[in-house]
Chain A
Amino acid sequence: MRHKVAGYKLGRNTAHRRSLLRNLVTSVIVEERIETTIPKAKAAKPIVEKMITLGKRGDLAARRLAGAYLMTDEALVKLFDTVGPRFGDRNGGYTRIIRTGWNKGDGADKAFLELLGSEKVLDEKREKRAENRAKKNAEARKAMEDAEAQAQHDGGIEPVKEESEDKK
């Protein structure tokens, strides 16, 4: 008999589990991809899909149902404005679980839970981040060069002296 083995308890009481799942679902919708343990990903996956179905419906009742579950307005707006329309021509299967690795401490199996089509969004995000980093680095280097030039202008011997002190 397979009585009383349905679903995931995740070692939590009802309120704790509900909070955890609401947080996970909100994060997936906002961030496109999250990394958790496999049982948590499997528990959150059907709820994410139900939320996206609400997002596709798009009427006021659906918006209120989703708003009652999601943690932030940002997630609600994103669900109804970008995520819902994105999956207009697809009947279910909006998410994907990719097994990745293991926790260092307890060896728990980790996985990504992501929305389909997240590759594009994440790549854009990554590119933007790299661009910002390059810009920041260039600025920092320029500032350093300027400071060095300034120091040399003030007194030619000073920067050399500082360097020798650093070496000690």
Chain B
Amino acid sequence: MSGPVAFTLDLDGRSQAALAPADATLLTLLRDGLGNTGPKRGCNQGVCGACTVMIDGWPQRACLTLAASCEGKSVRTLEGYGKDPLMQSLQKHFAEGGAVQCGFCTTGMLISARRLLADDPDPSGDAVRAALSGNLCRCVGYRKIVEAVQDAAREAGK
């Protein structure tokens, strides 16, 4: 096991000092070190997308990212969106539109969807499907998730 590394990252808009073994992932740091349990560990292999966070503006797998590699970078979890109107609209439409069942994939889905809407304010169904294809859901069957993203986009576009 590697010795701990001290570093600083920007977490959800605040400067965060961190101490983590060199081989610790960002997911482990967030969940076990910093008590931020929004990102979920579904596979720890970069497939399911439940641990998706934004790193310097890109959706990334926290389970495949070494914590220490985030030194000086901006890491944004769901907590960091605060009153972001697009995220709030997504959250509302997910909650009201039947896009949430067990909820384990939801935080990662929301972050991927929010990133899509930053690029494409009025995405087609296929564009939403492509943007969310790295986030696995076993409960909903995807249709209502895609519709929730489109509904949120339409509401924001008004």
A and B form one complex: no
**Chain B residues in contact with chain A, CB under 8 A?**
none
